[in-house]
Chain A
Amino acid sequence: MMQAEYRAPTSVDEAVGLMAGSGGKGRVLAGGTDLLVQMRAGMQVPGLIVDVKRIAEMTSIVQQDGDWRIGAAVSGAEIHDHAGLRAAWPGVVEAINLIGSKQVQGRASAGGNLCNASPAADSVPALVAAGAVATVQGPNGRRAVPVEQIPAGPGRTSLAPGEIVVSLTLPARPKGSGDAYLRLIPRTEMDIAVVGCGVNLTLSGHNCVAARVALGAVAPTVLLVEAAAKALIGSTLDPASLEAAAAACRAACKPIDDKRGTIVYRTKIAGVLLKRAVAIAAQRAGKH
């Protein structure tokens, strides 16, 4: 049976040192809702487990100059209970809160969801649409990485050996902005997205002046769909523009047929969710 060393450092430097010294056998434990399940299934056999939940920077939510910095190990439940963050980024919060179940929310983190690198991760399309930036620290210091560049493929990240995601920063956005995340699952909960769609947009009057659109579960990694954003920007979110954005989403899809959905269905649903998510984001933008 597996036997792994367990360490719970209190600083990022220490955690990075442990990871860098593990010879590639180290795994970061935040909530453990992916790692422990994968270990039980024999899919992961780590030699070292680095529990990051005792590191203040990784377990806190901080607002600074309009930016929100979410520690990579903050649980979904804590994010849910943070009224300020919820009001500022409702789409991101609802996406993070869709991970797993009520029980899983008590442990699961956005950082873990990102680093697990599932194309169907619920929080990632919302973070990508939000323009979130990951703070990554490794043996060579810190760097800022757009969230969409972290996943490299199913179960793979672009992180270098020894690097860990410390926090996720949601950049300040102008008044009149709103975001939303929708996913399609065959059930009402306890399921994995067949398609996920995150939308973040800014309105000036009736005009959409900025937009970012991201899709999950339709390609090996979460997609930033710039063509869809382009179709929205400069429009009044009129039916023709929405259809153009939906078409751009469908065109961006490179899904697979699997037990969770077909290519045809996923492609169609990407367009459906885009329209619905835009409607919610626009409604929220109107309130800000």
Chain B
Amino acid sequence: MSAQRYKWVGTRQNRPDGADKVTGRARFAADFNLPGELVGKVLRSPHAHANIRSIDTTAAARLPGVKAIVTGADFPEQPDQLLPAGEMQVNLRDVTRNIMAKEKALYEGHAVAAVAATTAAVAAEALSLIKVDYEILPHVIDVREAMKDNAPVLHAHMRTEGVKPAPDKPSNIAKRLEFAKGDADAGFAQAEVVIEREFTTEPVHQGYIEPHAALASASEDGQVQLWTTTQGHFQVRGFCCRLLDLETAQLRVTPSEIGGGFGGKTVVYLEPLAIRLSQRAGRPVKMVMSREEVMRASGPTSGGHVKVKLGARKDGSIVAADVTVALQAGAFAGSPVGPSCMCSLACYDIDNIRVVGFDVVSNRPKVAAYRAPGAPISAWAVESVVDMLAQELGIDPIDLRLKNAAKQGTKTHYGASFGVIGLVETLEAAKNSPHYRAPVKPGHARGVAAGFWFNVGADSSAAAQVGEDGTVTIISGNPDIGGSRASLALMAAEELGIDYNKVRPIVADTASIGFNFVTGGSRVTFATGLAVINATRDAISQLKARAAKIWEVDVEGVVWEEGEARPSSTNVGKFEPLSLAKLAASASRTGGPINGHAQLNAQGAGPGFGVHIVDLKVDMDTGIVTIDRYTAVQDVGTAIHPSYVEGQLQGGAVQGIGWALNEEYIYDKQGRLQNPGFLDYRMPVASDLPMIETVLVEVPNPTHPYGVRGVGEVPIIPPMAAIGSAIARATGVRMLDLPMSPPRLSAAIDAATPAMAAE
């Protein structure tokens, strides 16, 4: 931790949303209600792949209490091209089909109709009365199966992008992309050790506790209000306006408190349906997904297949890398294969690199973002092979990474060159950590892995409103999923020189603050933080101008220090300082209210690097892995609120541990999900985990006034390979497929040691 440079930044204050959350007063999306509201429910496809010949809603519509029914025909056709919608690049043809199937059901759980009725029971009965005539088609779940020539084709119009000459046949491969640096083949020719392996991962769900929920109220004059749980209400507005042909000024979206998102709440599912049902019914409509619906129909992240080949000299210098990543996109194109390819080798300064990626559709729910989208999948493979190199060469796994670590000036295979980054500092901190310095306990084994995420800037707006008593309201437009309100308030208090508790941050609806890009990419404390700082500085400049007016001096003669205006020198004159409270009280007489504003497109997000260390033991008879000790080390730039930074590191590590050990989507032969709930979709429970230790390395981001780097994505990247490497060192068996669940690990151990299999 850095020495105390600031009064508020870097301190551990209570979060402004804390009291309401621990008392149950906080309102999540399902807590919003309106008089006369109806209950909306969705009919979902029981088939993984089927043509929809017809939908007959006659009987359902006749049921007393049913007020509206919508199907795919109620949503206008959209162009088959990438368009900006709320600043995101999306294919609206696909988005409209994902929220409500048109000609085809593309996965089990795909929405095919929705009803609004007076009660949940009536709505459920109405769903049972809707007759859908399906023509069941062959389906494909696995990514490698989906890539084969004879695989069932999901989209007849799909041609693989990025292949020359352009293919004339449909394919499930939506896109091929390639990144290159140097000459990979020449690099391998110099290598003295070459290791190549193929790895797989299963799709995993973000696992947010709060299911998707939305309440829509459409008025007769065309105005619409929407309350929803989302990481980006401006994106919700953008999507809904496109899909429903509304103007943005007509749709006001209010975000609820959010019960977790992790990337999965950056898209729309229920919102357009609730609005359309409300428009049809003339009454408010509330929709809440069950956990089963969340699992069957909302985005997990991709499963993938990753081939990694690394070549090194005997001294440990990695001279060549060849990586191929194929990711499941779900039923529609758009997996995070791009970032997966880019992040795969970003930790290393390697001269010769080739990375190829494939975006592949299959009959699963469309993937959504999940913490560092795509990066954990390629890192699982690359970091495992780096560990194998360390074993092969007899080099400490941290030393091997230090030898090859990316530094300032390193040019990546995707083109960017790094500015000020802290990978070397992070590796050194890991090496010097109490955990790494402690000997490995008998019967245990240790694993290490690293991870990288770009972090994101983008559009943010903020306002700083000075109240009559000199307290300040900070208004921003990013739903707070990781303690961002506390961090924004800390930076504002630091700028203003007033007590943190005199600053109240709120998250405003789409009509009450300018545009903000989603809460995602670990951008909010960086980019929206920058907007808050600038808005606060705008307010301070107004405050200084008011003081200058009162003192009748030039504004240059006023400085802002410790929460008050002071003359910049004795030359200006002898004036009693004017506090924020005093200036606020006289604002009306000096020019009116004092409000600061800022809007910006934040550039220069500082990349983040993390290194994780795990000690574990393996029950060789059962394949059960017990995590004994776990440490997450990360360059966090500056920890604005250290507790919430640590919380991000711990939460990411835990999600990674679940991904590594137990989480997976299990399908039957018909392509139906068998484990759509937390009983059999096994996220870790508290008793599965030790306290996750953290080491915060602070290499400030030079493009931010307080040195902020995003911190939320990196910590989910290293756990899988760290755990896999520890398992390899414990058992002698290198696992190539996730999850490393007890049945799989046990089978692998038995396969490697035939004597035990006979037991």
How far apart sit A188 and B688, CA to CA, in the bound complex (Å)? Answer: 6
Q: How far is the CB of B667 from chain A (nearest CB, A)?
A: 10
**B680→A187 contact, CB < 8 A:** no
**Within 8 Å of chain B (Cβ to Cβ): is A269?**
yes
User: Which chain A residue has the least Cβ–Cβ distance from B742?
Assistant: A186
How far apart sit A188 and B661, CA to CA, in the bound complex (Å)? Answer: 13
User: Which chain B residue has the least Cβ–Cβ distance from A262?
Assistant: B743
Contacts of A191 in B (CB 8 A): 679, 682
Contacts of A192 in B (CB 8 A): 679-680
Contacts of A189 in B (CB 8 A): 685, 687
How far apart sit A70 and B51, CA to CA, in the bound complex (Å)? Answer: 57
Contacts of B315 in A (CB 8 A): none
Contacts of A194 in B (CB 8 A): 742-743
Q: How far is the CB of B499 from chain A (nearest CB, A)?
A: 41
Contacts of A258 in B (CB 8 A): 674
**Within 8 Å of chain A (Cβ to Cβ): is B662?**
yes
For chain B, give the interface size range: 20 to 34
**Within 8 Å of chain A (Cβ to Cβ): is B684?**
yes
**B680→A260 contact, CB < 8 A:** yes
Q: How far is the CB of A81 from chain B (nearest CB, A)?
A: 21
Contact residues of A between 270 and 284, Cβ < 8 Å to B:
271-272
User: Which chain B residue has the least Cβ–Cβ distance from A269?
Assistant: B622
**Within 8 Å of chain A (Cβ to Cβ): is B121?**
yes
- Which of B121, B666, B680, B741: most chain A Cβ within 10 A? B680
User: Which chain B residue has the least Cβ–Cβ distance from A2?
Assistant: B121
**B621→A272 contact, CB < 8 A:** yes
**B662→A187 contact, CB < 8 A:** yes
Which listed residue (A184, A188, A246, A259) contacts B742, Cβ 8 A? A184
**A184→B624 contact, CB < 8 A:** yes
Which listed residue (A184, A190, A268, A271) contacts B685, Cβ 8 A? A190
**A1→B121 contact, CB < 8 A:** yes
How far apart sit A260 and B677, CA to CA, in the bound complex (Å)? Answer: 13
Q: How far is the CB of B673 from chain A (nearest CB, A)?
A: 10
How far apart sit A201 and B480, CA to CA, in the bound complex (Å)? Answer: 58
**B759→A186 contact, CB < 8 A:** no
**Within 8 Å of chain A (Cβ to Cβ): is B746?**
yes
Q: How far is the CB of B670 from chain A (nearest CB, A)?
A: 14
How far apart sit A192 and B662, CA to CA, in the bound complex (Å)? Answer: 14
Q: How far is the CB of A231 from chain B (nearest CB, A)?
A: 16
Contacts of A190 in B (CB 8 A): 679, 685
Which listed residue (B680, B687, B746) contacts A259, Cβ 8 A? B680
How far apart sit A194 and B682, CA to CA, in the bound complex (Å)? Answer: 13
**Within 8 Å of chain A (Cβ to Cβ): is B90?**
no
**Within 8 Å of chain A (Cβ to Cβ): is B317?**
no
**A261→B743 contact, CB < 8 A:** yes
**B622→A272 contact, CB < 8 A:** yes
**Within 8 Å of chain A (Cβ to Cβ): is B244?**
no
User: Which chain A residue has the least Cβ–Cβ distance from B122?
Assistant: A1
How far apart sit A271 and B757, CA to CA, in the bound complex (Å)? Answer: 12
How far apart sit A258 and B666, CA to CA, in the bound complex (Å)? Answer: 9
**B684→A187 contact, CB < 8 A:** yes
How far apart sit A191 and B680, CA to CA, in the bound complex (Å)? Answer: 8
Contact residues of A between 159 and 182, Cβ < 8 Å to B:
none
How far apart sit A265 and B661, CA to CA, in the bound complex (Å)? Answer: 16
**A271→B742 contact, CB < 8 A:** no
Mark contacts of B659-674 with chain A using CB atoms, 8 A cut-off: 1 yes-contact digit, 0 otherwise: 0011000100000001
User: Which chain B residue has the least Cβ–Cβ distance from A247?
Assistant: B759
**Within 8 Å of chain A (Cβ to Cβ): is B118?**
no
**Within 8 Å of chain A (Cβ to Cβ): is B542?**
no
**Within 8 Å of chain A (Cβ to Cβ): is B675?**
yes
**B674→A259 contact, CB < 8 A:** yes
Mark contacts of A103-130 with chain B using CB atoms, 8 A cut-off: 1 yes-contact digit, 0 otherwise: 0000000000000000000000000000
**B746→A265 contact, CB < 8 A:** yes
User: Which chain B residue has the least Cβ–Cβ distance from A1?
Assistant: B121
**A187→B685 contact, CB < 8 A:** yes
Given A258-B674, A262-B743, A265-B743, check contact A187 B621 (CB 8 Å): no
Contacts of B623 in A (CB 8 A): 265
User: Which chain B residue has the least Cβ–Cβ distance from A264?
Assistant: B747
Contacts of B688 in A (CB 8 A): 187-188
Contacts of A265 in B (CB 8 A): 623, 742-743, 746-747
Contacts of B746 in A (CB 8 A): 265, 268-269
Query: Beyond the given A1-B120, A186-B741, A186-B742, could you list 14 further A-B residue pairs with CB under 8 A, ordered by the A residue number?
Result: A1-B119, A186-B624, A187-B662, A188-B687, A189-B685, A189-B687, A191-B679, A194-B742, A259-B680, A260-B680, A262-B747, A265-B746, A268-B746, A271-B759
- A residues neighboring B (CB under 8 Å): 1, 184, 186-192, 194, 246, 258-262, 264-265, 268-269, 271-272
21 A-B Cβ contacts within 8 A? A1-B119, A1-B120, A1-B121, A184-B622, A184-B624, A187-B685, A187-B688, A189-B685, A191-B679, A191-B682, A192-B679, A192-B680, A194-B743, A259-B674, A260-B680, A264-B743, A265-B623, A265-B742, A268-B750, A268-B759, A272-B622
The 10 A-B residue pairs with the shortest CB-CB distance in the complex, in nearest-first order: A265-B743, A1-B121, A188-B687, A272-B621, A259-B674, A259-B666, A259-B675, A259-B680, A190-B685, A188-B688
